[in-house]
Amino acid sequence: MSAEIKSLFEELATLKADLYGKDFLLTWEKSDAQIRAVLAIAELLKAIHAENIPLDMFKTGLAVSNFRDNSTRTRFSFASACNLLGLAVQDLDEGKSQIAHGETVRETANMISFLTEAVGIRDDMFIGKGHTYMKEVAEALDDGHQQGVLNQRPAVVNLQCDLDHPTQSMSDLLFIKNHFGGFDQLKGKKIAMTWAYSPSYGKPLSVPQGVICLMTRFGMNVELAYPEGYDLLPDTIAVAKKHAQKSGGSFKVSNSMESAFQDADIVYPKSWAPFKVMERRTALLEKNDHAGLKELEKECLAQNSKFKGWECNDKMMKLTKGGEAVYMHCLPADITDVSCKAGEVSAKVFEAARIGTYKEAGYKPFVIAAMIAACTKKNPAQVIEALYKSGLKRVL
């Protein structure tokens, strides 16, 4: 057993975190120990996968994916995670425009779950809807399990909602934790979570919200910066403040990219839409008001274009700690002169950080697998250890 694997098993034993029978919807609903446990399981799975040992803790079983918004990366991460654990993925394709309500949600949740162990949902387009929908599914599954409809209670995993994107923020966290050499090393580090210009509009808020709410728990100094008007949901701001206070870190909001980048150890420049715009968009989408949506897009793009200066380029990077801050992105980035004329990041800055961003993304399948394992096993560490010691090979 490698030193890394041994220390991860030891950490898990210490944490005594219990997620069995639960869902993973918002990081801020979970205790520090639960977050740390999922992260440790994710790293264990990644290390054991690298040693070519199978981790199929399910011999059969379905994992249902429900993507209410387009996705390639998260779809593959979820498929990879489920396959790693031995689950077969079945997509629930509702049709893009449908927002299911009431009876349908309750019934469908049960109908797709007779032999299902995990349900992954992405629902990030509608402010006030995504998280609500996930809770509705979870309650329907509780009901079905308690009443004897389902032999098992599938775990619901949030693959991005209107509030949080936990599989992304926890992958981000693992990336910087390993970059700096441990969670302790993150204390006092400054991370700039900033808005950046993009020639598109309507990008979800869940990434910046997820990042500020999670990083503040680890004693980091988080500065959130955006042009006036590009506010996040107030509730998530409150969570970030509370976390910073408790962890001994800090949380600051500014309207200056320069301020945020100044002496930052880590920068995370990314476009998003103001939550008030997203609320208007939700209302228009519900009414199928195509003309209204066109009008809103036009208005927002005009507004965005006032802030083309919010680009992560050499000049900005020079402001950071030693000019060498770690650049992060959830991908795909809008790269100036590569994927668009003017975007979130210059080609030079992105190219230097590119492999890093790929590695950042590479944690996601293991984070998802860890969430499923933690929520469906009474003692996930014991299950993983048994597999690790099986002497089997994943690839012959």
By beta-carbon proximity to a copy of itself, the closer residue of 54 and 199 is 54
Q: What is the secondary structure of 326-341 as a DSSP string?
A: EE--SS---BBTTTBS
Q: Does 387 engage in binding with a copy of itself (CB under 8 A)?
A: yes
Segment near a copy of itself (CB under 8 A), from 7-15, 19-27, 58-66, 234-242? 58-66
Minimum CB separation from a copy of itself for residue 102, in Å? Answer: 6
What's the min distance (Å) between Cβ of 99 and a copy of itself?
14
For 123, list phi and psi in degrees, rounded to 5. -150, 85
CB of 377 to a copy of itself, least distance (A): 8
Size of the site for a copy of itself (CB under 8 A): 67
> Does the footprint of a copy of itself cover residue 157 (CB under 8 A)?
no
Q: Six-digit token pair at 215?
A: 């990083």
Site string for a copy of itself, 109-138 (x = CB under 8 A): -xxx-xxxx---------------------
Calpha distance 140→64 (Å, rounded) = 15
Separation CA 356–CA 353 (nearest Å): 5
Stretch that binds a copy of itself, among 79-87, 221-229, 282-290, 300-308 (CB under 8 A): 79-87
**Residue nearer to a copy of itself on the CB measure, 64 or 213:** 64
* Among 129, 377, 381, 388, interactor with a copy of itself by CB under 8 A: 377
> CA separation (Å) from 232 to 52, 292, 310, 345?
42, 23, 17, 21
CB closer to a copy of itself out of 155 and 317: 155
**79 forms part of the interface with a copy of itself (CB under 8 A):** yes
Out of 44, 84, 161, 163, the residue judged to bind a copy of itself by CB under 8 A: 84
Q: Could you give the CA distance from residue 333 to residue 331 in angstroms, rounded to a whole number? A: 5
Gap between the Cα atoms of 362 and 46, Å rounded: 9
54 touching a copy of itself, by CB under 8 A: yes
Among 5, 32, 69, 92, binds a copy of itself (CB under 8 A): 92
Q: Which residues 6+ apart lie within 8 Å of 205 measured at CB? A: 162, 232, 233, 236, 272, 273, 275, 278
DSSP characters over 230-298: ----HHHHHHHHHHHHHHT-EEEEES-HHHHHTT-SEEEEE----HHHHHHHHHHHHTT-HHHHHHHHH
Residues 276, 278, 284, CA angle at the centre, nearest 5°?
Answer: 110
Rule CB under 8 A: is residue 393 a binding residue for a copy of itself?
Answer: yes
**Residue ranges that bind a copy of itself, judged by CB under 8 A:** 49-50, 54-62, 64, 72-73, 75-77, 79-80, 83-84, 86, 88-90, 92, 102-104, 107-108, 110-112, 114-117, 144, 147-152, 331-332, 335, 338-339, 355, 358-359, 361-362, 364-365, 376-377, 383, 386-387, 392-396
